[in-house]
């Protein structure tokens, strides 16, 4: 129970001191809760530091205006309370000079939740803000602060204001106030600690102001690396700029980093592929590392974590698969939104502004993956033991100057006459078209996509095998329609790929290859394939498969023994 301090003096002429009573409860060495009673009614309640003269003066002025009594009467009673508590009023408490956030009105009534929220916005310049139902604020260093619960919220408010939060039937609790802000604070789709050009709609950017530079820092950074061709030099520039490009989500190609074509058996090992990806991530605040063995749901959960949300670079390093074909990754690259389980929040989402970096020796990709990548080749560099340290120090020292150069690059004019033709048309028009020779770069991109497209290579290989088998049987492959039983098709596929396919599995695999001349058909109830030559009439007679005329053939096992 709080102590009472009451002076029942008769009113002196010219004053209104009758019935004024202060009741107090000590909270700490200097801070107390004061209740103002007048004529037996509670009229005001506040928390203040008696050692702070300004706080006493503000309190006295507020109570005097509320009760229409002289300010000196209130100040006298405050001094009596201070004396009773043996408080040294000469020691000022600068902490008390901060603004106040409270859930209680000056007359003791609970404040509406909307008024408290408006007062908080006024105190903090519109903070906190939210992404969905997740609140975030700005740290003193400019980085975002995740406000996970009411405790985090009020700890953040405590660093900027005096929090006076009372309990009672008509008082808003801290938990209710937190839930209110989760649905009513200013909403954004994402918060970014690095800039985009152009800025993305609905994104809140938290980063330092960029310096004014002369445009040499990005070029100096690029000189640390050794591209294999002039086109690779320009593609490297587009690689460094892509994470800062503000194009729509899901519109960024993945970048495949490989070695040179004439590596004399090195297969691209040791040319700095992993180092390049690490340093791109370093420029943009880090990267998220994955492997092709990861579970897609776990990958999405990681990408939605607090640590990964600011990241713009995701990496698959040193992929070992002879043929990279991962439907989930293909979808992650092109999907505009990444959605999945967000730890401790439930379902979560983020705009897909990620740029994927893949390093691979002897690249071999599925068709869908090949069409999603821009292949950059690095030449073998001269060995230097302090190269990595120099590059990292350069990035740390000149990060914002490099980004200013990237801004100038992205805001420069596109080369006249350039027409985007790949599936990444928007990226081509707003990033690739800014390099010196975009047409040459596009040709290199398309040519390299074909080179690493294992599906196309296999398709051509299998189609050639079928053509040879037909011609060995006296068929004119370009002009005839020929029915090929499934068992024969399976043997031909196995011979072409040197990989044993059972008949049912061969049927499935042939469908995925998309060979134009092969059409699934049945003849006399038997499953098989119709080979329709490019010059064969659609309504022409379908022929049965003839035996080989060269005396060769036999089972697939006998053929494979010759390999």
Pairing verdict, β 346-351 and 355-360? unpaired
Matching residue, tokens 């600690």: 193
Domain 217-452 and domain 455-560, same fold? Reply is no
Share of the chain above pLDDT 70, in %: 86
Q: What angle do CA 251, 424, 408 make, to 5 degrees?
A: 75
Taking the domains of the chain in order of start, what are their residue ranges?
3-97, 113-188, 217-452, 455-560
What top-level class would CATH report for the domain 455-560? mainly alpha
Q: Look at the alpha carbons of 220, 221, 224, 229 in this order and tell me if their dihedral is positive or negative.
A: negative
Calpha distance 355→303 (Å, rounded): 12
Looking at the domain that runs over 217-452, which CATH code has it been given? 3.40.50.300
Tens of pLDDT, residues 344-390: 566 677 889 999 998 877 666 777 788 889 999 998 877 778 898 99
Cα separation values, 157 from 98, 174, 267, Å: 11, 12, 57
Tens of pLDDT, residues 187-227: 998 889 899 999 999 999 988 889 887 779 999 999 999 99
182 phi and psi angles, rounded to 5 deg: -60, -25
Q: Look at the alpha carbons of 438, 443, 448, 453 in this order and tell me if their dihedral is positive or negative.
A: positive
Q: What 3-state class would DSSP assign to 226? A: coil
554 phi and psi angles, rounded to 5 deg: 90, -175
Pairing verdict, β 134-138 and 129-131? antiparallel
Calpha distance 517→512 (Å, rounded): 13
Calpha distance 426→556 (Å, rounded): 49
pTM of the full predicted structure?
A: 0.66
Calpha distance 190→381 (Å, rounded): 39
The whole-number pLDDT of residue 563 equals 34
Contact assessment for residue 352 and residue 337, using Cβ atoms and an 8 Å cutoff: yes
Q: In the predicted model, what is the mean pLDDT of residues 290-305?
A: 78
Q: In the predicted model, what is the mean pLDDT of residues 121-132?
A: 89
């Amino acid at each position: 129970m709080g102590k009472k301090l009451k002076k029942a003096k008769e009113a002196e002429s010219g004053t209104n001191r009758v019935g004024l009573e202060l009741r107090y409860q000590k909270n700490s060495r200097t801070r107390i809760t004061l209740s103002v009673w007048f004529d037996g009614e509670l009229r005001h309640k506040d928390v203040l530091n008696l050692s702070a003269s300004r706080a006493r003066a503000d309190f006295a002025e507020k109570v005097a205006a509320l009760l229409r009594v002289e300010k000196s009467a209130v100040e006298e009673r405050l001094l009596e309370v201070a004396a009773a508590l043996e408080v040294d009023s000469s020691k000022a408490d600068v902490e008390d000079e901060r603004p106040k956030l409270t859930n209680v009105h000056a007359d003791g009534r609970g404040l509406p939740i909307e008024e408290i929220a408006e007062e908080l916005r006024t105190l903090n310049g519109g903070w906190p803000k939210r992404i969905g139902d997740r609140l975030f604020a700005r740290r003193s260093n400019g980085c975002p602060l995740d406000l996970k619960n009411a405790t985090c919220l009020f700890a953040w408010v405590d660093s900027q204001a005096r929090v006076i939060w009372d309990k009672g039937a008509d008082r808003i609790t801290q938990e209710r106030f937190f839930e209110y802000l989760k649905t009513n604070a200013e909403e954004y789709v994402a918060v970014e600690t690095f800039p985009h050009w152009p800025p993305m709609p609905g994104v809140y950017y938290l980063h330092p102001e960029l310096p004014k530079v002369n445009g040499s820092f990005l070029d100096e950074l690029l000189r640390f690396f050794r591209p294999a061709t002039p086109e690779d030099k320009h593609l490297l520039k587009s690689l460094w700029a892509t994470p800062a490009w503000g194009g729509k989500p899901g519109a960024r190609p993945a970048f495949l980093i490989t070695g040179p074509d004439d590596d004399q058996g090195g297969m691209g090992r040791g040319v700095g592929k992993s180092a390049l990806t690490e340093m791109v991530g370093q420029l943009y605040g880090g990267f998220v590392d994955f492997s092709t063995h990861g579970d897609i749901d776990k990958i999405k959960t990681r990408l939605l974590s607090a640590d990964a949300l600011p990241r713009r670079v995701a990496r698959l390093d040193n992929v070992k698969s002879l043929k990279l074909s991962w439907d989930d990754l293909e979808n992650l690259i092109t999907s505009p939104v990444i959605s999945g389980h967000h730890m401790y929040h439930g379902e979560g989402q983020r705009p897909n502004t990620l740029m994927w970096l893949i390093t691979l020796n002897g690249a071999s990709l599925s068709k869908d993956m090949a069409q999603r990548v821009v292949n950059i080749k690095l030449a073998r560099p001269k060995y230097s033991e302090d190269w990595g340290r120099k590059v990292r120090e350069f990035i740390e020292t000149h990060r914002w100057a490099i980004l200013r150069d990237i801004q100038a690059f992205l805001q420069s004019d596109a080369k006249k006459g350039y027409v985007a033709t790949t599936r990444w048309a928007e990226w081509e028009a707003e990033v690739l078209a800014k390099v010196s020779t975009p047409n040459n770069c596009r040709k290199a991109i398309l040519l390299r996509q074909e080179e690493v497209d294992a599906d196309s290579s296999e398709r051509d290989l299998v189609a050639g095998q079928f053509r040879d088998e037909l011609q060995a049987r006296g068929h004119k492959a370009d002009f005839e329609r020929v029915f090929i039983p499934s068992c024969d098709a399976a043997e031909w596929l196995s011979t072409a790929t040197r990989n044993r396919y059972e008949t049912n599995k061969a049927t499935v695999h042939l469908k995925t290859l998309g060979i134009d001349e092969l059409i699934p058909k049945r003849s006399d109830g038997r499953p098989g394939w119709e080979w329709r030559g490019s010059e064969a009439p659609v309504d022409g007679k379908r022929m049965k498969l003839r035996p080989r005329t060269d005396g060769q053939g036999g089972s697939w096992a006998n053929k494979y023994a010759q390999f």
